């Protein structure tokens, strides 16, 4: 039931599919040639499997503890030591800016590491994950002095970070927030209010915790135009930049949750706590969105990572569990029964899951490569395109990958049969852990609204046009002499449905925003299927090329067999999504409130 990191899969993606060596002239990429990346991935896998995974189940059972007197939080046994090992090995600094002590490797390497960390223990992985969000906000909106003070300690992992958005009466609708900020006159502010569901809000393994807090200045405009972002450290840095005076903030309670028990989900109370403005007054949301987009990508990754971990456990269980006989006659007549791997429906669950995970992983890796290109490409057009893709695809990454992650954990439990429902096997924890990913950082419904209402129309639809154009060009280039025609045909069909759905949105959603919203999640799924069909076409091409070139590694043959399952059993959902979205909103809006 051990965790096995997807090393080989990432090697294939970077080396064969995305050929990242082609970018060796770009900043950061020079140190990330195929050989180096392969070595890093091996080390990352070892760390995830041997250091982090052992504390996953115990952390779930033990949970976090709040001391009611001191308001300090203790994470489960072993977390502190694992975090120490994480920072000492330099994993938190992998893609950090070298100017602040980071290793400056491309994001796609960090994505691979993060999937392994999160798959080995999602609750543990969230601690450094939240810090990454804080780093992105500081990078986007901090002054040089703030960067100099905070970034090195956040990148090294000596300090950690959090995001404080939600209040009891508002989550999605941030315009309603009430936390107050009052200027102290010295450039700092007094922050007062209550924030809830603050992941990693308080714990015992860093010497400081930097809370990024949304608050409202007195007299600020109503709604989202009056929100500012503050950095509120647990210990106020002294003149030397070391943790000084204890700030007047504390964890007032821990949330009782269905899963991710190892992560401390805190109610945070700020009582005239000292905070420092990030960016301009009333423009907090702009910076928060850098952090949020980073977090959304991270949540999509988490959904995929937990799905992968659950699938590993299910594969293992299916091989070990002897029950019944193959319908075509005993496969292991020397044993009392065959393994349940002989049953087509068990294989269906395992292989559909794998098709989703491997397609999703390629999608994730491809988008993280865009994050690199958006920053370091020397071609302005390529930077613009990569940046457009990041914006367009982040909600798809978040919602599509977490929805499929949940499906995979459900099937992993189903493969386990009755054992899956008990807490003696890991299936239940994976399912309980993954469930939050469909909710936090904006529910999947909110992601769909972001895609349809904001990302599609942005800049006259430029991002979408570029994306569809890329797929059309790929099909045109491959169609004539492809060695994997089924994949090209499937991509063409799915992309045509996405185009059809987009046209429907343009014709119906403009005049009636409810119509666009009613179909938005189905549209997002159609989008996710198109992205992963594109990834499968590219993976199949390279796997086939390796086989044709005489490669004997069974990895390539397996890849094509998994791809076939994707074409046969995942893509048929595209048509249903298209039909459902075209049903529009009239049926949904027809009921009065009383009829619910």
At residue 79's C-alpha, the angle toward residues 75 and 84, to 5°, is 125
517 binds a second copy (CB under 8 A): yes
- Tell me how far apart the alpha carbons of residues 181 and 204 are, in angstroms, rounded to a whole number: 28
User: Among residue numbers 42 through 101, which ones bind a second copy (CB under 8 A)?
Assistant: none
Q: Does 259 help bind a second copy (rule: CB under 8 A)?
A: yes
Q: Should residue 590 be labelled a site residue for a second copy when binding is judged by CB under 8 A?
A: yes
Q: Minimal distance in Å, beta carbon 166 to a second copy?
A: 7
In the complex, minimum distance from the CB of residue 31 to a second copy, in angstroms, rounded to a whole number = 34
- Contact yes or no for 164/195 (Cβ under 8 A): yes
Q: Which helix (H) or strand (E) holds 190?
A: strand 188-199
Burial class (CB in 10 A: 0-12, 13-18, 19+), 483: middle
Q: What is the largest CA-CA distance in the chain?
A: 82
Residue 514 lies near a second copy (rule: CB under 8 A):
yes
Of the listed pieces 19-27, 208-216, 285-293, 559-567, which binds a second copy according to CB under 8 A? 559-567
As a dihedral over the C-alpha atoms of residue 211, residue 217, residue 220, residue 222, rounded to 10 degrees, the angle is 60
| Distance of alpha carbon 190 from alpha carbon 99, whole angstroms | 31
Q: Does residue 521 touch a second copy according to CB under 8 A?
A: yes
How far is it, in rounded angstroms, from Cα 386 to Cα 369? 8
x/- map, 371-410, a second copy, by CB under 8 A:
-----------------------------------x---x
Q: Does 573 engage in binding with a second copy (CB under 8 A)?
A: yes
Q: How far apart (Å, rounded) are the C-alpha atoms in residues 381 and 294? A: 23
The answer to whether 453 touches 529, Cβ cutoff 8 Å, is no
User: What's the angle, vertex CA 231, arms to CA 94 and CA 186, rounded to 5?
Assistant: 135
Complex with a second copy: residue 257 or 483, whichever CB lies closer? 257
* 494 contacts a second copy (rule: CB under 8 A): no
* Smallest separation (angstroms) from a second copy to the CB of 134: 20
Minimum CB separation of residue 403 from a second copy in Å reads 10
Residue from the set 218, 334, 481, 593 that interacts with a second copy by CB under 8 A: 593
Which parts of 267-326 interact with a second copy (CB under 8 A)? 315, 318-319, 322-324
Q: How far is the CB of 498 from a second copy (least distance, A)?
A: 16
Catalytic residue among 167, 202, 441, 542: 441
3-state secondary structure 435-460: HHHHCCCCCHHHHHHHHHHHHCCHHH
88 catalytically annotated: no
Enter the DSSP assignment of 380.
Answer: H
> Which residues, numbered 168-197, are part of the site for a second copy (CB under 8 A)?
169-173, 176, 197
Residue 589 found at the interface with a second copy (CB under 8 A): yes
Which class for 499: exposed (0-12), middle (13-18), buried (19 or more C-beta within 10 A)?
middle
Considering only residues 316 to 355 of the shown chain, the ones binding a second copy according to CB under 8 A are: 318-319, 322-324, 327-328, 336-337, 339, 341, 343-351
Is residue 166 near a second copy by the rule CB under 8 A?
A: yes
Name the residues annotated as catalytic: 441
């Amino acid at each position: 039931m051990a965790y096995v990191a997807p090393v080989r899969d990432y090697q294939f993606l970077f080396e064969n599919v995305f050929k990242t060596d082609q970018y060796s002239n770009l900043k950061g990429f020079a140190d990330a040639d195929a050989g180096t990346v392969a070595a890093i991935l091996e080390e990352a896998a070892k760390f995830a499997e041997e250091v982090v995974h052992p504390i996953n189940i115990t952390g779930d059972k033990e949970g976090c503890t709040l001391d009611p007197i001191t308001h300090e939080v203790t994470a489960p046994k072993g977390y502190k030591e694992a975090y120490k090992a994480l920072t000492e090995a330099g994993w938190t600094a992998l893609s950090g800016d070298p100017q602040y002590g980071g290793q400056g490797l491309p994001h796609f390497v960090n994505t691979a590491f993060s999937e392994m960390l999160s798959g080995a223990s999602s609750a543990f992985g969230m601690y450094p994950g939240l810090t990454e969000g804080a780093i992105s906000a500081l990078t986007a909106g901090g002054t040089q002095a703030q960067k100099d003070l905070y970034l090195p300690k956040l990148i090294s992992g000596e300090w950690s970070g959090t995001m404080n958005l939600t209040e009891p009466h508002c989550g999605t609708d941030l315009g309603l927030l009430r936390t107050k900020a009052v200027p102290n006159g010295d450039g700092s502010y007094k922050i007062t209010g209550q924030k809830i569901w603050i992941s990693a809000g308080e714990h015992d393994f860093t010497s400081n915790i930097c809370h990024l807090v949304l608050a409202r200045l007195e007299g600020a405009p109503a709604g989202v135009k009056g929100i500012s972002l503050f950095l509120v450290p647990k210990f106020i840095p002294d003149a030397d930049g070391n943790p000084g005076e204890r700030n007047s903030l504390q964890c007032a309670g821990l949330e009782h949750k269905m899963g991710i028990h190892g992560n401390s989900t805190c109610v945070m109370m700020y009582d005239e706590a000292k905070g420092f403005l990030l960016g301009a007054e009333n423009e907090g949301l702009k910076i928060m969105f850098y952090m949020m987009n980073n977090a959304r990508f991270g949540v999509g990754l988490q959904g995929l990572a937990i799905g992968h971990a659950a699938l590993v456990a299910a594969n293992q269980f299916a091989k070990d569990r002897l029950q019944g006989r193959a319908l075509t006659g005993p496969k292991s007549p020397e044993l009392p029964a065959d393994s349940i791997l002989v049953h087509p429906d068990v294989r269906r669950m395992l292989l559909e899951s794998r098709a989703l995970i491997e397609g999703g992983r390629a999608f994730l890796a491809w988008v993280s490569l865009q994050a690199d290109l958006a920053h370091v490409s020397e071609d302005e057009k390529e930077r613009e395109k990569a940046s457009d893709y990041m914006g367009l695809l982040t909600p798809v990454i978040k919602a599509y990958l977490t929805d499929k992650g949940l499906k995979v954990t459900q099937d992993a439990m189903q493969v386990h049969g009755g054992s899956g429902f008990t807490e003696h096997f890991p299936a239940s924890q994976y399912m309980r852990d993954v469930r939050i990913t469909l909710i936090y950082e904006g529910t999947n419904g909110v992601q769909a609204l972001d895609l349809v209402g904001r990302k599609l129309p942005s800049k006259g639809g430029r991002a979408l046009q570029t994306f569809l154009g890329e797929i059309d060009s790929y099909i045109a280039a491959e169609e004539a002499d492809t060695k994997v025609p089924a994949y090209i045909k499937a991509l063409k069909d799915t992309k045509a449905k996405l185009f059809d759905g987009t046209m429907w949105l343009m014709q119906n959603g403009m005049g009636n925003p409810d119509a666009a919203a009613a179909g938005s999640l189905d549209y997002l799924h159609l989008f996710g299927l198109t992205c992963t069909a594109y990834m499968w076409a590219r993976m199949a091409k390279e796997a086939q090329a390796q086989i044709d070139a005489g490669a004997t590694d069974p990895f390539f043959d397996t890849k094509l067999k998994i791809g076939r399952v994707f074409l046969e059993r995942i893509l048929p959902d595209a048509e249903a999504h298209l039909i459902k979205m075209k049903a529009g909103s009239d049926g949904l809006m027809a009921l009065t409130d009383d009829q619910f």
